[in-house]
Structure 1
């Protein structure tokens, strides 16, 4: 039988955060899906409605935390998948740097848009 291999070492902070963000994302995606597909149907979604939702501190906060956790979860997952494929040494450090930069830019742009939608900027 094949031996199970994973670059995630149990008990590390990346292992723990990958699981915690997964649990949070399932709940946040459920909330997002119900709100934007059942409570408000797709034809009823408008720019002004989005601004109105973003004016509510609870919704705004949830969307920003959703953005940060989704970015971490996705980037950490891609990084570990590449490590599982044998990425090592200098390539591993370069990929880590590029993914970190991509994550920072993604979260920065998403937060900027959220602040504009909220009317703060």
Structure 2
């Protein structure tokens, strides 16, 4: 019988944070779909409406947390999938560095956009 292998150490923080961010993302995605696909329909979404939503502190904080957790969850998942496929040594370090830089860049640009959407910056 084939042995199951995972790069996640169940005693480590990466394993815990992957599960925690998954749970958070399920909740926030449900909120997103409810608000932007059932309460308001796609044809009703406008730039000014988006700007008004982002001006509300609770919505702004939720969207920034959504951005950060989705980025971490995605980058961590891709990295561990590559490790599970046999990524080792220098290649592993380079891939981790590239993914970390891309993740930080995505979060920084997303926060810049979120701040611009508030109309304050």
- Aligned counterpart, 1:23: 23
- Aligned counterpart, 1:104: 104
- For these two proteins, the number of residue pairs brought into alignment is 121
Q: Deviations over 1:3-50 (max 9, x none)?
A: 111000101000000000000000000000100000000000000000
Q: In structure 1, what is the Cα distance between the partners aligned to 2:42 and 2:90?
A: 46
Instruction: Give the structure-1-normalised TM-score.
Output: 0.99
Instruction: Give the structure-2-normalised TM-score.
Output: 0.99
Correspondence 1:89 to 2:89: yes
Q: Deviations over 1:85-105 (max 9, x none)?
A: 100000000000000000000
Q: In structure 2, what is the Cα distance between the partners aligned to 1:17 and 1:91?
A: 24
Q: In structure 2, what is the Cα distance between the partners aligned to 1:29 and 1:11?
A: 28
Tell me how large the CA RMSD over aligned residues is.
0.5
Q: In structure 2, what is the Cα distance between the partners aligned to 1:113 and 1:105?
A: 12
- Where has structure 1 moved over 2 Å in runs of 4 or more? none
Counting only pairs closer than 5 Å after superposition, residues 17-56 of structure 1 correspond to structure 2 as 17-56=17-56
Q: Please, which runs of 5 or more residues in structure 2 have no aligned partner?
A: none
Q: In structure 2, what is the Cα distance between the partners aligned to 1:53 and 1:39?
A: 14
1:120 Cα deviation from its structure 2 partner: 2.3
Q: Please, which runs of 5 or more residues in structure 1 have no aligned partner?
A: none
